[in-house]
Structure 1
């Protein structure tokens, strides 16, 4: 990070201008992503329903309607009275926008289909449209066709996949924008009190806004290679704002701390990057690792959520490591300008440090009791996990006032034979179409399955025949999943293949694929996180402890979500009813909880490790870590809770679950886990926290830092003093620094592996420092190894009988030629 710090602050105006230009250009270009958002990508490519869909497209053409229009006859009129006006609207639809002609109650020639397209009361009728193009093109076509298909004076309702996508996009973007409109000013006011001044408080908020804008460009780029879900944008906006505030808070806090130590603005900014910047870089890596599991998902919608989250995290980190330090280097002491009260900054930091130091002291007095109580509470909150029932996205995820949801309810209740149902493909062998007798056998067998109301012949082409299965249960329910499974168990006639497809089968297969892939997604997330944590702490124990803490926090969070959302306890306060947890929301919550948990772990443990490497005992390191980061972590958690909590009141269930889950996770992790459980465990584990096997490849990296860690592990109570002032050569390129080391030998000396003796050493060491460009580029340490070994009793002292015996043995060895 040293080189990065120097590059960023060498020309701060250039760094700032370049960063702003890139972000603004990316954001302006990324505005086009708003026209590309969809709910596509929910098909498992390897599923039976996906193969069925491909066969239908290749042999017959798309059969699934994208838009369903419900026309209601006005009071005093009949459906025949409105025929001419409705059909005239059909004629306005460009043929190029349709994959097949519009089918309606007034235009179909099939009496069975005609009966299905009229309501049970006889006052409503349907028209269905199958649109040309991919999902994005179909969405744009739907938005253009709505005015054309709406008949003045005739109540018109729209539903179907394109209408569902459009409504989800509109509702979710509106809710997130409204939530962040509230979150921005509230966050700024809280930051004013937390940081003490308006200038310092504005940094995190401005970085958050730039992160959201820059994320649009990243999502636009992602949309060129894969579908981008509307929720990917929502997740990017929420995470981008929240993490930018976290990172900005950490950066500004450390910069002011360095200024208080007498550093110049440029030196303070550089030291901030080398310390807090390192934590931010590892935090971004950990968040990226947490969402990398989504890339292993079998459906592209979940992958787009992961890509969106990772883009927002990385942009927030990049801005915090470039633009923010550059501005801080320019501002210097003016970062404390416009305080809300004179001396507020210093008093606030002093009060926070005293409070968290006392809190750490209380934890250290009873670490085992605190660890058991905190762990027990979190495990108790995790118990509802045993009854989890996740589900995919459906129409019920929209608010109750949604016009599309109301239209879908009308379709379900008043048009019982016009639902999506299930599609059966009856396929012959050798490219020959199945015989009528074979098709009849399949129809008869399907009619006997539970949940099937009616089986109709739909279309034929090539070597296959399509059957439409009308269900007696509502679409996209668990009962439909059971019916799909039963239809797949049907015995096929000889030389006949039967495939089950349609939207209900696609939904069932997608849910099953996501469940199967969860172990892989978790393994990717855990493996990547462990590697990054190992690189951050150079320890075997700390990464596994961090992952364990994240899993406990995750279990408690999802347990509370199940109790509230799925089981319905207190759901009324959120304006909702009991419902399964949506898969996409679970993926986001798991990634965010895991990433934020390890994120706060890095912030806390980095300070503890920094103090430990400077010679602090375990207790002292814990107190330093908690007192220096407790205020920052708690403030960051509070601000992030406001950002995500505002989304928890969204009318869209996916956003509501995501916002509530992230808020719960942040509160639990930043308080119970990070400030109570982690310090208690660090105290209980003692020196084991820093254990690292003597593996050569595992110790590559900073030799100086590794040697310091090894020395502290060998002499835990080591202390240093400077008996003489340093001597500097005439050209000031070399300095000789004497220092004295004392400590008790309680660990291995590697190499060669001398065991602990329990004896004390008092050793004079000379460091030779070589400078280049004002920085130490080389350091050599010289000490009397023989004197140290003699003090430890490993080597005999001068003139002793043992020394004479060693000398005599050496002579005989020389004579004998050994």
Structure 2
């Protein structure tokens, strides 16, 4: 690394100019990037996806979305039959495919009070999830006024459904740029406390160059493959935390060398040889964690893995090239008024490390007392979309949901199953099978779409099944799976489109390769860390500690969101009953890589002290004394970035940000400040052993 730093300083003008060009190009790319990203989370190749595609092909509706549900609460004395003359033509004129009391004659569309009535509106679709969702969102906005104008005077009209509930009543929210700025403001406060000088501005400069350059690279990548839109959030917020982490470590080590009497350039070379090496290894482990997503046989997950991998790679490149140039050029001038000094380890962290070493069994026990119960709670995770109660707190969609329940109409009607049976088969077989499950209703859709009555058609007959339980619940998913199985047995070739079944199929496809992902990632991480630390025990412990940390983060999501022990108190949102299927996978990839940052930062310094002749316990004390403040500060910066993401209006993003935030805080405090130093102290000299045979395989010097 020292040779590399000499090369960087020798070519400083060309390298600085290159990053200025990339910064300007990234600024332009950030303004157009969102137009080039893929918004869809659709997973192709599943039975539910085939059913959804068939529904779009034959009826031009659905698109994988649950229908809109207009709800009418008629005034006292007015029955649905009395309102038929006004409401029937109004519903028939709604674009898409409408199934209601008037065209089906099924009294399941009427509430127990005799005055509440609902309908199902399957909106037009073109098999593009983003366009289909926009069509449905626009329809949910205009339908209440249009239907209210046609309804009898005094009728309450609401339009509910999964899409309007997901976007309604959650406030305006912030864009990704505003959230990144919020995270940057919090980072500046933390950095000012860490450095006590204007050096706090340097990590933010490195973060700005890293983020904007990453946007440019992602834009170029989008020309060759579909890149999921969530990558834009990852670059803005995760990039902010990672780039600051790396520059924080390097700048702190540079200050330490300067405090020990080194001149500016020598201090840069020494910092690169030590902290720079840790940054390189750390960036590699983060990149491996994200790149491991390519093992998952799903296009959008692979694009997240490849796009996400660019963040640490670019951040490492900027940190190891532009930051040494900045430190050499104006580092000393920025290091004013120098309220903090790096000539000695942190007194508070040194005292804490001594306590951990003296009471290592107690420290390890306390850490496990926190982590193990959370990991056990993770075993109860239910992968499913949030329940309707957790999607919207107010608004028209919420009022429609309340009106349904008041009339004893189950909320499961928002997640109907659409059954397509092959031509010339008996639809009654499907209906009888559905009713045998005790579902709310089964409606055979016999009327053709408006304008196609005289058009010859080979459409498969369509039956709509109304379940009692929502697709988000375990019972709802169980009934959906059982119902599909019986339909397929009753009428071979039957297709069933359902959000509950889509969730089941997506989970199976996404997590079918999860054991392989774990194995590949664990082996690669072990090899990288074994070569870095020249040890077999340290990397094995690091992998196990990381897995325990991720499991604890899952447990936190389960308790806070799925069970509601925190979601209502913090955000005013009831228990979701489930965690969206894509969140655990992405949280795993992020946390496994990001938390390894702290492992590398701490253990690299401990290894350095041990190699310099320190006893294991002394290496633990000095290593934690030197890096403890950095790790907690870096974790706090990342936590602030995730807190900014949690301010987004979407419940899905709140859950995602919570999982990441919990994981980072647990890892930086319980794992790295308690468990890791306690275990290193417990294992003593065994931490540093690398047999000759292993050293030959890894191509490093053996450790006795």
Cα RMSD for the two superposed structures: 4.1
Aligned partner of 1:685 in structure 2 is 683
Q: Report the more deviating stretch, 393-402 or 679-688.
A: 393-402
Q: Report the more deviating stretch, 48-57 or 617-626.
A: 48-57
Q: What is the 5 A alignment of 1:330-409?
A: 330-337=329-336, 339=337, 343-346=338-341, 349=342, 352-392=345-385, 398-401=391-394
8 Å contact from structure 1 (residues 69, 156) kept in 2: no
User: How many Å separate the matches in 2 of 1:503 and 1:377?
Assistant: 36
- Aligned with residue 629 of structure 1, among 605, 627, 630: 627
Instruction: Give the CA deviation at 1:601.
Output: 0.8
Distance 1:163 1:130, change over 3 A: farther
User: How many Å separate the matches in 2 of 1:364 and 1:682?
Assistant: 9
User: How many Å separate the matches in 1 of 2:469 and 2:192?
Assistant: 55
Distance 1:492 1:640, change over 3 A: closer
Aligned partner of 2:453 in structure 1 is none
User: How many Å separate the matches in 1 of 2:589 and 2:395?
Assistant: 30
8 Å contact from structure 1 (residues 619, 683) kept in 2: yes
8 Å contact from structure 2 (residues 88, 102) kept in 1: no
| TM-score, normalization by structure 1 | 0.72
Aligned partner of 2:500 in structure 1 is 504
2:442 paired with 1:443: no
Partner-residue secondary structure (3-state), 1:581:
coil
User: How many Å separate the matches in 1 of 2:387 and 2:284?
Assistant: 33
Q: What is the 5 A alignment of 1:718-737?
A: none
Instruction: Give the CA deviation at 1:515.
Output: 4.5
**Per-residue CA distance 1:544-567 (angstroms, 9 max, x = gap):** 010122123223333333333333
Partner-residue secondary structure (3-state), 1:382:
helix
Aligned partner of 2:418 in structure 1 is 423
Instruction: Give the CA deviation at 1:600.
Output: 0.7
User: How many Å separate the matches in 2 of 1:251 and 1:380?
Assistant: 36
Q: Report the more deviating stretch, 73-82 or 413-422.
A: 73-82
**Which structure has greater helix proportion?**
2
8 Å contact from structure 1 (residues 12, 329) kept in 2: no
8 Å contact from structure 2 (residues 506, 581) kept in 1: no
Q: Report the more deviating stretch, 545-554 or 672-681.
A: 672-681
**Per-residue CA distance 1:443-501 (angstroms, 9 max, x = gap):** 32232123251141467965844332222333443332122222233276798333332
Aligned partner of 2:152 in structure 1 is none
Q: Report the more deviating stretch, 275-284 or 202-211.
A: 202-211
**Per-residue CA distance 1:550-598 (angstroms, 9 max, x = gap):** 1232233333333333333344331232222333332333233322332
Q: What is the 5 A alignment of 1:348-747?
A: 349=342, 352-392=345-385, 398-401=391-394, 419-427=414-422, 433-436=423-426, 439-457=427-445, 462=458, 464-490=460-486, 496-574=492-570, 575-579=572-576, 580-648=578-646, 651-695=649-693, 698-701=696-699, 706=701, 709-710=702-703, 713=704
8 Å contact from structure 1 (residues 484, 505) kept in 2: yes
- Aligned with residue 135 of structure 1, among 124, 129, 135: 129
Partner-residue secondary structure (3-state), 1:636:
helix
8 Å contact from structure 1 (residues 287, 599) kept in 2: yes
Aligned partner of 1:234 in structure 2 is 233
Partner-residue secondary structure (3-state), 2:600:
helix
Distance 1:141 1:17, change over 3 A: farther
Q: Report the more deviating stretch, 76-85 or 225-234.
A: 76-85
Q: What is the 5 A alignment of 1:103-114?
A: 103=97, 111-112=103-104
Q: Structure 1: 5+ residue runs without aligned partners?
A: 91-100, 428-432, 714-818
Q: Report the more deviating stretch, 633-642 or 173-182.
A: 173-182
User: How many Å separate the matches in 2 of 1:378 and 1:493?
Assistant: 46
Q: What is the 5 A alignment of 1:4-83?
A: 4-35=4-35, 40-43=40-43, 45-57=44-56, 61-64=60-63, 68=68, 70=70
**Which structure has greater strand proportion?**
1
Distance 1:10 1:84, change over 3 A: farther
User: How many Å separate the matches in 1 of 2:217 and 2:109?
Assistant: 44
Instruction: Give the CA deviation at 1:604.
Output: 0.9
Instruction: Give the CA deviation at 1:130.
Output: 0.8
Aligned partner of 1:323 in structure 2 is 322
Which has the larger Rg?
1
Aligned partner of 1:430 in structure 2 is none
Aligned partner of 1:267 in structure 2 is 266
User: How many Å separate the matches in 2 of 1:694 and 1:462?
Assistant: 73
Instruction: Give the CA deviation at 1:526.
Output: 2.1
User: How many Å separate the matches in 1 of 2:107 and 2:226?
Assistant: 37
8 Å contact from structure 2 (residues 415, 470) kept in 1: no
Q: Report the more deviating stretch, 647-656 or 671-680.
A: 647-656
8 Å contact from structure 2 (residues 550, 592) kept in 1: yes
Q: Structure 2: 5+ residue runs without aligned partners?
A: 150-155, 449-455
Partner-residue secondary structure (3-state), 2:437:
coil
Partner-residue secondary structure (3-state), 1:500:
strand
Distance 1:133 1:494, change over 3 A: closer
User: How many Å separate the matches in 2 of 1:392 and 1:47?
Assistant: 18
Partner-residue secondary structure (3-state), 1:467:
strand
Partner-residue secondary structure (3-state), 2:421:
strand
User: How many Å separate the matches in 1 of 2:671 and 2:590?
Assistant: 16
Instruction: Give the CA deviation at 1:307.
Output: 4.2
User: How many Å separate the matches in 1 of 2:161 and 2:221?
Assistant: 26
User: How many Å separate the matches in 2 of 1:454 and 1:685?
Assistant: 65
* Number of aligned residues: 677
Distance 1:413 1:245, change over 3 A: farther
User: How many Å separate the matches in 2 of 1:79 and 1:204?
Assistant: 67
User: How many Å separate the matches in 2 of 1:630 and 1:592?
Assistant: 22
User: How many Å separate the matches in 1 of 2:340 and 2:26?
Assistant: 36
Instruction: Give the CA deviation at 1:261.
Output: 3.6
8 Å contact from structure 2 (residues 71, 159) kept in 1: no
Distance 1:143 1:651, change over 3 A: closer
User: How many Å separate the matches in 2 of 1:610 and 1:206?
Assistant: 29
